[in-house]
Chains A and B, each alone.
Chain A
Amino acid sequence: MTDPVLLQATADLFPNGIARYAVGGLFVGLGAAVIYLGTGISAGASTFLESTLSYVSGRARFQRYVRSRDWRLVFTLGIILGAGVYAVAFQGGAWLTDVQPWRLLVGGVFVGIGTRVGKGCTSGHGVCGVGSASKTSIAGVITFILVAILTAQLVAALGVSP
């Protein structure tokens, strides 16, 4: 453990350490586990987009989520509030991104299309699906991570930052 080469390699791969990531990940899993244990529901974050659209659009594609739209709204509200608790307790106030709005907007459109066509996002496929050892989810996760790496590297190579 005190091998300097190994320590340097770890510092290169994890310049901010691993504690915040591992602890945060455990909480994410715990949140999903609490809901699953009580209700049997594998919670995912992206269905909220379509279930909430059912309030304003009569399209069949959204109306199929009418019965779950209220608790999905509560789940999302909980996510916002939980992150707010972190902001108050650890962050000392609001934090703002420097990533350019056009990247967020255009990227968001692709995220909205892709997560719904692909049957899940980082929480549904990544946390609940992988936790279920679902081959579909593992295929989905590998696909979106590889394409995301290619996209981010390409955008960085084109000189867009941040």
Chain B
Amino acid sequence: MAGARDGEGRHPLFMPLVLVGGLVFGFGLAYSHMARPEVVLNFLQFEDFGLVFVMFGGAAVTGVTFFLAPRLLDRAPLTGDSFERRLKSFDRNVLVGGAIFGAGWGLSGICPGAAYASLGVGNVTILWALAGMFVGAYLQGYWRSRTADADLAATSAD
């Protein structure tokens, strides 16, 4: 965990590369119209299925990259870290959190990356959604910190 990605002594090109990656990522979100909640809502209401091409188009590129990178390179040049797939452990939280996220996505038509991109295309109204996301992220952090404390104190389960 304490690799060059997080600590001091980072490669001088680390931040520029993250910025360039973000630029391309954000350009893609805007180009695909995912930065527009209306377009996402049209997908969810079965009026325009284009979103499928965005997600699978993106996953196809990352899929090829994740497959080839460890075969072509030993380590990531800017951090020295090895290439690993994005594998997260499965538990009930994945489904509970996914359902809560789905409810929010279905109500607002916006997800985090698309919200940042939406700001970039000039949609200042999206600040409502961004404010909501920070409040939500804070609430769950507050809540789970308390739950962790309660577990440590071995108090009654609730």
Contacts and interface: CB of A to CB of B under 8 A. Distances in A.
A binds B: yes
- Give the contact-size bracket for chain B: 35 or more
A63 to B, nearest CB: 10
Interface in A132-157: 132-137, 139-141, 143-156
Contact of A122 (B33, B61, B114, B125): B114
Contacts of B77: 38
A77 B29 CA distance: 14
Interface in A18-40: 18, 20-40
Contact of A144 (B24, B99, B120, B137): B99
A97 to B, nearest CB: 5
The prevalent SS among residues of A at the interface is helix
A34 B28 CA distance: 13
Contacts of A86: 26-27, 30-31, 120-121
Interface in B109-131: 109-126, 128-131
A30 B62 CA distance: 7
A110 B103 contact: yes
Nearest to B10: A71
Given A94-B121, A140-B98, A148 B90 contact: no
Contacts of A105: 128-129, 131-132
Contact of A114 (B5, B45, B97, B144): B97
Contacts of B148: 60-61
A162 interface: yes
Contacts of B66: 36, 128, 131-132
Interface of A: 13-18, 20-43, 45-46, 48-50, 52-53, 57, 59-62, 67-68, 70-71, 74-87, 90-91, 93-99, 101-137, 139-141, 143-156, 162
Given A36-B76, A78-B18, 15 more contacts: A18-B53, A28-B32, A39-B17, A59-B145, A71-B15, A79-B120, A86-B30, A109-B135, A111-B129, A128-B86, A130-B56, A130-B62, A143-B98, A149-B44, A151-B107
